[in-house]
Amino acid sequence: MDPRFDANSDNIEEYLARHERKQLLRFLTCGSVDDGKSTLIGRLLHDTKGIYEDQLAAVEGASKKYGTQSGQADLALLVDGLRSEREQGITIDVAYRYFSTEHRKFIVADTPGHEQYTRNMATGASTCDLAVLLVDARHGVSVQTRRHCVITSLLGIPKIIIAVNKMDIVDWDQSVYDSICEDFKAFSSKLPDREQHFIPMSALEGDYVAEASEKAPYYTGPTLLELLETIEIGGQEQETPFRMPVNHVIRPDLDFRGFGGRIESGVVRPGDRVTVLPAGTESRVERISTFDGDLDVAGAPRSVAIVLEDEVDASRGDMIVASAEVPATSDRIAADLVWMHEEELQPGREFILRHGTRITPCRIRRIIHRLDVDTLESVEANSLALNEIGRVEIETDSPLVFDPYEAVRGTGSLILVDRIGNWTMAAGMIRGKATEARWTATPISGADRIGEEGLVSADERAARFGQKPATILLTGLAGSGKTRIAAMLERALFDLGRVAIRFDGTTMRKGLNRDLGFSASDRSENLRRSMEAAKLINDEGIICVAAFVAPQAGNREQAKALVGTDRFLVVHCSAPLEHCRAKDPTGLYAHAAERDLDGIPGISFDYEVPERPDLELPTHQIDPEEAVNRILALLSERGFLR
């Protein structure tokens, strides 16, 4: 029973009903080692009457045994329950404690401050609405203070309270308090904006924790407990688009088929139009069922069973979303990872990825950069060590349905699990599709090249080869004749005494790109890598002839920017789909029809026709020789052939 309950005057049913209606706030305490996190929670429990007499007596006895407070009751022992924690006076594992006041209920996570246990701190922070970051007044803003500030920001905790603790040891010196506040503001200004508050306090003595004090007359704000009781929380989940990962299919009899799961964001009502992803099947909500009966509306974070009007194929791992605002779907994502294992993370390593209710094998394709928590700068890295934070590119065997973490925490978070030992290796925050972060290189200028002495200049190459470098991208549907034209163009340039190199999507997949499939993201990556090679070829003064389907207009524009707008030509082989299917020189379309294959441009997804190509070749109307002559004329007209 709650110590505040008075059996003589309170009605138990009314008390429980009033208590159930209270708003719940989840928060954590974090900071450097020995900043007073456990003592602060113990003080909150003590001053809100959240402990019993026998618990307090046990703490007093343990305080004498371990001598951490010179015989006085060490309130930190209310939280530090492990023997090793009590002996060392530090927090090792995450400890969760519950307490309540007349205004709110609270679940507080006491997280470790030692760098070795940063992974435990990140785990405790993952479900919190607010962070209380303690700073020891004697030491100021430390490296671990900054690290915890960064992690709480990455984890999307929208509000933070900076509790400058142990002010009694520095005689409540205002200059010390002001200096710490300014240092923290200067550092946090480099992070995304969020609500932050500063409070001077003494967790050991209780000043400004639950009770006001006169010891810091320069501080006129609320106590920590008053701030915890009044700070605005909640509502964010229900303002975001509707998302519900399917946990299981409920089929108790032939008349009921519902999809059970927890709503991660937004609200849903009967009649709403929804989509089941990744399949993309649409339907309407017929019922929202719970154990207590049907609902007219349900919002995050409630668990419900949704019955759809249509017989839709969905299972565990799928996601039901609002049709008007669908999330992204991709098998390649960019995510920020907090690495939690002693063994370093290396590119190429495989894991089991857990995202909502979906479980899929995955692999780390590359480490994009590592975050320096001291400077908040992104630095190049080939690995991630224990507790380091970095952005990585992840490829999954099954596509993920996700929102960026900053938009919806529930669908933007993931963990990586060791495939053999089943250990949690990393916690991740999804930032977007990986392909969006890959097309970043720029053309190499002469000043960027290594070995200035004896460098062959671009003019010398042009004079020797009789040409200026160019990349000719022949794009069009499979069967439009682009590969044959590319081969004949290479021969024509050779006969003219010019120097050209030719490659296409198929030949690139036999070597450099043999790890890629035929999904939209894989096609994008196939083109990106190939254009990186084309750029290097052009840098040596050589013409590159590249034949690729390249179905996405955005990827073609990115290829142009990558190679250089002044040396990139798009030639569209514009034979229509009917002609290509009838001709079908490789048997691709027939094979696709027999095997019901996906990933065929023009059939599985649209081929985006170039709006303003440098040259359009109606290859269903002209022969390859004519097509080659038109390309040669274009090269001469643009000054690439001398």
Highest mean pLDDT range out of 4-8, 84-88, 197-201, 475-479?
197-201
Q: Helices 143-154 and 118-125, interaxial angle, to 10°?
A: 40
| One domain for residues 152 and 247 | no
| One domain for residues 212 and 254 | no
| One domain for residues 34 and 129 | yes
Decide if 381 contacts 390 (C-beta within 8 A). yes
- Of 203, 230, 257, the last residue of a domain is 230
Cα distance between residue 155 and residue 276, in whole Å: 27
| One domain for residues 84 and 195 | yes
| One domain for residues 112 and 191 | yes
- What are the start-end ranges of the H helices in 385-430? 409-412
Q: What's the pLDDT band for 344 if we cut at 50, 70, 90?
A: very high
The reply to whether 351 falls in a domain is: yes
Decide if 139 contacts 175 (C-beta within 8 A). no
Q: How many structural domains does the chain have?
A: 4
Q: Rounded to two decimals, what is the model's pTM?
A: 0.62
**17-37 pLDDT, tens per residue?**
666 678 888 898 888 877 888
The reply to whether 429 falls in a domain is: yes
| One domain for residues 92 and 160 | yes
**53-87 pLDDT, tens per residue?**
555 555 555 555 555 555 555 555 655 543 343 34
The reply to whether 4 falls in a domain is: no
pLDDT greater than 50 at residue 90: no
Check residue 202 and report its DSSP letter: B
The reply to whether 450 falls in a domain is: no
- pLDDT number for residue 61: 57
How many CA within 13 A on the CB side of residue 457? 3
Q: Please name the residues in contact with 580: beta carbons below 8 A apart, sequence gap of 6 or more.
A: 477, 478, 479, 480, 589, 602
Q: Which phi and psi angles does 458 have, rounded to 5°?
A: -65, -35
- pLDDT number for residue 593: 65
The reply to whether 616 falls in a domain is: yes
- pLDDT number for residue 184: 94
Q: Please name the residues in contact with 418: beta carbons below 8 A apart, sequence gap of 6 or more.
A: 341, 351, 352, 424, 425
The CATH number that applies at residue 135 is: 3.40.50.300
The H-or-E segment that residue 316 falls in is: none
- Of 434, 465, 480, the last residue of a domain is 434
The reply to whether 443 falls in a domain is: no
| One domain for residues 465 and 384 | no
| One domain for residues 609 and 472 | yes
Q: Helices 482-495 and 624-637, interaxial angle, to 10°?
A: 60
The reply to whether 2 falls in a domain is: no
- pLDDT number for residue 372: 87
- What are the start-end ranges of the H helices in 540-601? 553-563, 577-583, 588-595
Structure tokens belonging to residue 100: 């309540």
pLDDT greater than 50 at residue 443: no
The reply to whether 642 falls in a domain is: no
What's the mean pLDDT in 36-47?
84
List the 471-475 sheet strands across, edge first.
Answer: 500-504, 543-547, 471-475, 568-573, 615-617
| One domain for residues 33 and 177 | yes
| One domain for residues 373 and 250 | no
- Of 374, 402, 434, the last residue of a domain is 434
Cα distance between residue 137 and residue 179, in whole Å: 10
What's the mean pLDDT in 116-136?
78
| One domain for residues 258 and 275 | yes
What's the mean pLDDT in 101-125?
73
The CATH number that applies at residue 422 is: 2.40.30.10
Domain that holds residue 422: 330-434
Structure tokens belonging to residue 230: 């009044």
End-to-end CA distance of the chain: 93
Q: Please name the residues in contact with 570: beta carbons below 8 A apart, sequence gap of 6 or more.
A: 473, 475, 556, 560, 610, 613, 614, 615
Q: Residue 503 corresponds to which amino acid?
A: F
Check residue 219 and report its DSSP letter: -
Three-state SS sequence of 325-339: CCCEEEEEEEEEEEE
| One domain for residues 225 and 131 | yes
